[in-house]
Structure 1
Amino acid sequence: MKEEDLKAVAFYRKHDFGGEPEYYNIGDDVTFWQGDDFNDKYLSLIVIKPAKVHCYQHSTGKGVHKVYAKGDYPSLDELEGLSKFLVIPDNAYWAIALRLIDETKSPVGRYQLTFVAHGLGKTAIESSHKDDSAKYAQLESTTSDNEITCALYVRDMQTGAYVITGSIHLHFDSTHGVISVDDINVAEESTFHLEPHLVDNTKFDLIMSEKHAS
């Protein structure tokens, strides 16, 4: 089987599909940073399978944002440089990627975050450390709603106790493709503090830390 039969998307470093294709699949959420070998390097695109490719001029903040469906795109000049892209299923509208970062000095995997919302589904994420290479859990929105409230809870996998319960309200800016946290509510009786940290336009670290004495 040819590689292109397995992949959903092919980017090219020249206009009109010049050079060797570089393949990506549904679920890939790729961010380039200033000075690396990929930032602003992709100049044309073929979406091989039914999918949506969210492409961003900037990896953080507002900038040009375009969504490409199945088809051939000989020039990506309208982006004025590609710094981030996200490949999602054709029936999805947008996606968010999450990690649980544990700053309580507990072992990796001691805690598990469950994140659930209508239209986004449900996922369970093991805790990791800030310098860990743990992958992000991606959730795709199957509803066109740009405002979603999600329930979340964190469980201590050793004791079975829930150390955090709460909710988080997300907003998707469809013009710029940026997800923001409008509000996060953690129950007062929760053992730990939880704070969202924006990594790029669609990725968040939820940082769990000890509560400070008031």
Structure 2
Amino acid sequence: MVAVHTVEFYPEKDYGGAAVTSELNKVEHLALGTKYLSYHLGSGTKLLVWNHSNYYDQEQWVSDKSSLPAGKQCYKVLAGATRVIGFRFKDATGGAQKAYSLTLNIHDIGQVTLYSNESDQFAIAGTMPQDGPPVTTAVYVRDMRTGIYIVQGSIYFKWDSDRQKVVIADELNWPKQLKHEEDGNDDFTITLISKDP
């Protein structure tokens, strides 16, 4: 029996080999499909999994897997009620596709870089427990042609108990060059609206 809020990973398919236990908030990069080939979830637990080279390619796994599908190498162990925040990055200043990069420094997960108008999918922008404390993520926007950072700041996420979703607390030093729009539960479109510092 797997303990509550843990995951038991196995080095072989069909739960073969010695189990390795991971607890809440544990993150490992490049482990799924190589180091671990199957797992059992404890009660109240889910896995946020993603492709190491493509943060748009992410899923939440909520049941045991006797054989891991290809394409996801990284994971974070989450409580079942934890929300995964998603971003996509758009440019309204007239720049070419991928003219700007939006880099997020996400606690536990690391650095995630999105490019302007690159995708309509949502990439990982953070995680937040329901009713949890606010989460802060550093954000930088860079002009890829000049190499100059035109935005440096922080994004503050908080739980809105009335709406039962994550929201951006834009009153707290929101970068003036960016606007944000809610795009479904816990997903946001971030748009560059000015290149002026």
TM-score (norm 2): 0.53
Distance 2:125 2:40 in 1: 20
Query: What do the CA deviations read for 1:169-191 (whole angstroms, capped 9, x no partner)?
Result: 10134786511011252567xxx
Matched to 2:136, the amino acid is T
Matched to 2:152, the amino acid is T
Where do 4+ consecutive residues of structure 1 move more than 6 Å? none
Query: What do the CA deviations read for 1:20-72 (whole angstroms, capped 9, x no partner)?
Result: xxxxxxxxxxxxxxxxxxxxxxxxxxxx963639xxxxxxxxxxxxxx9538x
Structure 1 residues 1-214: aligned runs within 5 Å: 50=41, 52=46, 69-70=62-63, 90-91=77-78, 93-119=82-108, 121-128=110-117, 133-141=119-127, 145-173=132-160, 177-183=164-170, 184-186=172-174, 193-210=177-194
Which stretches in structure 2 are left out of the alignment for 5+ residues?
1-12, 14-38, 48-60, 65-74
Q: Which moved more, 1:174-183 or 1:164-173?
A: 174-183
Matched to 1:101, the amino acid is K
Q: CA offset at residue 148 of structure 1?
A: 0.7
**Alpha-carbon spacing, 1:122–1:176, altered in 2? closer, same or farther (3 Å):** farther
The alignment-based identity, stated in percent, is 27
8 Å Cα contact 2:87/2:124 also seen in 1: yes
**Alpha-carbon spacing, 1:143–1:186, altered in 2? closer, same or farther (3 Å):** closer
8 Å Cα contact 2:105/2:137 also seen in 1: yes
Pairwise CA RMSD: 3.7
Distance 1:136 1:158 in 2: 24
Which stretches in structure 1 are left out of the alignment for 5+ residues?
6-47, 54-67, 72-87
User: Alignment partner of 2:78: what SS?
Assistant: coil
**Alpha-carbon spacing, 1:110–1:127, altered in 2? closer, same or farther (3 Å):** same
Q: CA offset at residue 94 of structure 1?
A: 2.2
8 Å Cα contact 1:119/1:143 also seen in 2: no
Q: What is the aligned length? A: 131
**Alpha-carbon spacing, 1:69–1:211, altered in 2? closer, same or farther (3 Å):** closer
TM-score (norm 1): 0.49
